[in-house]
Structure 1
Amino acid sequence: MAESLWRAIAVYRIAALIYVAVLVVNNVSVYARPLLAWPVLAATAGWTVFTTYAYAVPARRRPPLLVADLLVTMSVMASSGYIVGSEALRSGKPTLAVAWHVAPVIAWAVAGGRRGGIAAALAMGATDLVVRNHYDQAAWTGTVLMLLAALAVGYLVNVAEVAQQRLQRAIELEAATRERERLARDIHDSVLQVLALVKRRGAGLDGEAGELARLAGEQEAALRTLVTGRTAEIVDESVQTDLMTLLEPYASDAVSVAAPADAVRLPARAAAEVAAAVSAALDNVHRHCAPGTKVWVLVEDEPEAVTISVRDDGCGIAPERLAEAETQGRLGVAQSIRGRIEDLGGTVRITTAPDQGTEVEMSVPKKEIE
């Protein structure tokens, strides 16, 4: 999109130069110093050729060239007061720049957005008013039109940049989806079938064989969720993601994940930290509770906060055990869970008792992490 705009500026500059030449030929007879109009017209043509080639290279579209373009055009316009003369300008004759002076304003708008375009338009408009030396409605029209052009082009550039970013994200998402589908087919034809077979064959066995079958069933469910779960939704703000795309892979025969139907949107960093805290809570259950302990992960998306509860029906934790573990340097709860959530401005509440299971409730306020 940007390249198309720079080419359009070059075409506009050339067309405006032709218009300038036609007006100079038609009006030169009424100029105060007509002989000087031809060198200025030649300089205008030379600068048009130079900028056409200079702006064609992206590396040259930098402040030095943009400032030089603005100053040269302002000089051409300023010379109109001496060459055309104040009487001819008051009678309605155009300056030597005519519409050619809009080109650098558009160039500034493309390079610097609306702010750059407005700055260039104000500088060029001030020069135009000084040269004309009268401030009626006709004199202000050119300045107003330049400001409108700067605003429109600057807005178009911003829209084009956002559209380009969205297109890039869509291309990346499509590529990731295709790769995921390919991997899902390969995994389905190999790993998932083997795990399902182990689960079926060992379902009625006791001892280690039965435990192996159970673990195979859990891994099959987790892997199936991973390859078939929903992908991250493209949202308007590129820094946001759907928290559930990070939590759903934890679902298995032993872990149930419940969430709202809509995406739970959080900034990407915050979502990753919350998912890591949930992972730490699940890891504690797997480490300290009996195999097969059921775990429920509940996500609530409220207007002011996102609340995640991880509850199990395992062995529970003695009241003094958390403080004792932190003293011994075991920082799973202190840092992996509470530290992460508190860094996001949230709170963690742990409800537990021996042989009564444990519930870890994590609440993250949305305003603190936007």
Structure 2
Amino acid sequence: MGTEERAAGVFSVEQPLWRAVTAFRLLTLLYAVGRYAGNAHHYSHPAAAWAYMAVLTVWTFATVRVFSTKARCGWWWLWADLALVVVGILLTRSFDQAASVDANDVTLPTVRAAATVLGFAVMGGWRPAALAGLLVGLANIGERGRVTSSNAHNIVLLMLAGVAIGYVVELARASEQTLARALEIQAVTRERERLARDIHDGVLQVLAMVQRRGAEVGGEAAEIGRMAGEQEIALRALIAEGLVPNPSYEAPRRPLHRPEPGEPQDLRALLTPLAGSRVTVSAPGTPVLLPGRAATELSAAVGAAVDNVRKHAGEQAHTWILVEDEPDEVVVSVRDDGPGFAWERLGEAEQEGRLGVSQSIRGRLRDLGGSAEISSAAGQGTEVELRVPRQRVERGSTK
């Protein structure tokens, strides 16, 4: 593992590819030098050709460290390498005999050009590799003076290899980013679990004890115990959902953020702030997603139902909110243990101009294409069941 990798503490999937580029450059250079040594006798200017091969050799060995990592190798180094290869291809016609050139003799750099295309592929993906392969191919056509079946075949193979390798590099880079994100989430989750254990073993137990002792002592201690109980609920919600609930029962129920109509919103995030010492919110462990407007209106209807419990059942009444995420609809039930009411009281309240139930609850659900069912009996508490069908909501959100 290289210095950069050890410093970062991670392993890059690209690093082995850069090592492959370095090894391929050296191997193809040795092949090019050996191939020229075997054919030097029919060159018109062998001394000039040997001079070019010496320059190519010095350049390749001098840049071994540069081409060993992406951090050291920039685009200018790649373009310089490509320029040296292209110049060698074009000089072949000047140094070699015309008959040998016409007979499809190999160029001076020969397969060393493929190492240059490989460098472009590893650095930038398939598009830069295709461009580099095209430039090498045009140089081969210029060296031959025409398009032949041999150089056309070589160009196609070179570009296909460059594009394929570049595409694989892009996939590897995307996979590395996904893996890094997954490892980050895993680390955050483990840290959160550790903090949750510490909070549970310490803070939550202390708050629970303060709540019990305050209730036993009474007076001002009871108020302190009530506040401790609210803070315990807030911390438990934070640990369970990663959300910040509002521990005050008297706080406004409306969410501060109003999503765009088509923006998916987790209904749990909007209902969790309703939790308090007398309000219990139960929801699935996975997000309950609805379009922004539907989630906001549904949570507002639930908030109105909770407000009704506080106003009509008293401060000591307990409220339970249950969220059910069904395949075809989302169902939210709001149940309390208050005194309840006679059914005819709803009609009388509407005639008197109190439209909390008819507008704040039923009106919102009606606009969403859903329904609000209210059941109550004297001495048996009240239950409000809110249903929002997914198909209607999603169709309406696309308008």
* TM-score, length of structure 2 as denominator length: 0.63
**Residue aligning to 2:319:** 293
Task: Confirm or deny that 1:100 pairs with 2:112.
Answer: yes
1:143 to 155, 177, 180: 155
**Residue aligning to 2:169:** 157
Evaluate the alpha carbon distance shift between residue 278 and residue 257 of structure 1 in structure 2; reply closer, same or farther with a 3 A threshold. Answer: farther
CA distance in 2 between counterparts of 1:126 and 1:367 reads 56
SS class of match (1:294): strand
1:254 to 248, 259, 279: 279
Say whether the 8 Å CA contact 1:248–1:257 is kept in structure 2. no
Q: Deviation of residue 203 (structure 1)?
A: 7.8
Evaluate the alpha carbon distance shift between residue 55 and residue 362 of structure 1 in structure 2; reply closer, same or farther with a 3 A threshold. Answer: farther
Look at both structures and tell me which one has the larger radius of gyration over its CA atoms: 2
Evaluate the alpha carbon distance shift between residue 6 and residue 365 of structure 1 in structure 2; reply closer, same or farther with a 3 A threshold. Answer: farther
Map 1:1-370; keep pairs closer than 5 Å: 1-56=13-68, 58=70, 61-133=73-145, 135-197=147-209, 220=232, 223-224=235-236, 226-228=238-240, 243=266, 254-259=279-284, 263-264=286-287, 289-290=309-310, 291=315, 292-300=318-326, 312=334, 359=386, 365=394
* TM-score, length of structure 1 as denominator length: 0.68
Evaluate the alpha carbon distance shift between residue 46 and residue 286 of structure 1 in structure 2; reply closer, same or farther with a 3 A threshold. Answer: farther
Say whether the 8 Å CA contact 1:246–1:275 is kept in structure 2. no
Show structure 2 runs of 5+ residues with no match: 1-12, 244-263, 341-345, 375-381
CA shift digits 1:127-173 (9 cap, x unpaired): 22332345454323321221222123212211221222122123212
SS class of match (1:194): helix
Say whether the 8 Å CA contact 2:25–2:115 is kept in structure 1. yes
Evaluate the alpha carbon distance shift between residue 249 and residue 265 of structure 1 in structure 2; reply closer, same or farther with a 3 A threshold. Answer: closer
Show structure 1 runs of 5+ residues with no match: 232-240, 323-332, 339-346
Evaluate the alpha carbon distance shift between residue 72 and residue 242 of structure 1 in structure 2; reply closer, same or farther with a 3 A threshold. Answer: farther
SS class of match (1:174): helix
Q: Percent identity?
A: 31
SS class of match (1:93): coil
SS class of match (2:322): strand
Q: Deviation of residue 220 (structure 1)?
A: 4.4
**Residue aligning to 1:325:** none
Q: Deviation of residue 190 (structure 1)?
A: 1.9
CA distance in 2 between counterparts of 1:283 and 1:165 reads 41
Evaluate the alpha carbon distance shift between residue 246 and residue 68 of structure 1 in structure 2; reply closer, same or farther with a 3 A threshold. Answer: farther
Say whether the 8 Å CA contact 1:86–1:132 is kept in structure 2. no
Evaluate the alpha carbon distance shift between residue 188 and residue 101 of structure 1 in structure 2; reply closer, same or farther with a 3 A threshold. Answer: same
**Residue aligning to 1:341:** none
What residue identity is the alignment partner of 1:139? N
What residue identity is the alignment partner of 2:279? A
Say whether the 8 Å CA contact 2:268–2:287 is kept in structure 1. no
Say whether the 8 Å CA contact 1:297–1:309 is kept in structure 2. yes
Say whether the 8 Å CA contact 1:66–1:107 is kept in structure 2. yes
Say whether the 8 Å CA contact 1:222–1:249 is kept in structure 2. no
Q: Deviation of residue 113 (structure 1)?
A: 0.8
CA shift digits 1:66-93 (9 cap, x unpaired): 3332222111111112222442134342
Question: 41-50 vs 73-82, which deviates more?
Answer: 41-50
Q: Deviation of residue 36 (structure 1)?
A: 1.9
Say whether the 8 Å CA contact 1:247–1:257 is kept in structure 2. no
CA distance in 2 between counterparts of 1:27 and 1:230 reads 72
What residue identity is the alignment partner of 2:323? V
CA distance in 2 between counterparts of 1:64 and 1:310 reads 62
Evaluate the alpha carbon distance shift between residue 149 and residue 225 of structure 1 in structure 2; reply closer, same or farther with a 3 A threshold. Answer: same
Say whether the 8 Å CA contact 2:320–2:334 is kept in structure 1. yes
CA shift digits 1:280-322 (9 cap, x unpaired): 77666666751433333344566xxxx7565545899988879
CA distance in 2 between counterparts of 1:158 and 1:148 reads 15
Question: 56-65 vs 197-206, which deviates more?
Answer: 197-206
SS class of match (1:296): strand
Evaluate the alpha carbon distance shift between residue 73 and residue 298 of structure 1 in structure 2; reply closer, same or farther with a 3 A threshold. Answer: same
CA distance in 1 between counterparts of 2:335 and 2:387 reads 12
Say whether the 8 Å CA contact 1:225–1:248 is kept in structure 2. no
Evaluate the alpha carbon distance shift between residue 251 and residue 14 of structure 1 in structure 2; reply closer, same or farther with a 3 A threshold. Answer: farther
Evaluate the alpha carbon distance shift between residue 160 and residue 242 of structure 1 in structure 2; reply closer, same or farther with a 3 A threshold. Answer: farther
Evaluate the alpha carbon distance shift between residue 320 and residue 288 of structure 1 in structure 2; reply closer, same or farther with a 3 A threshold. Answer: closer
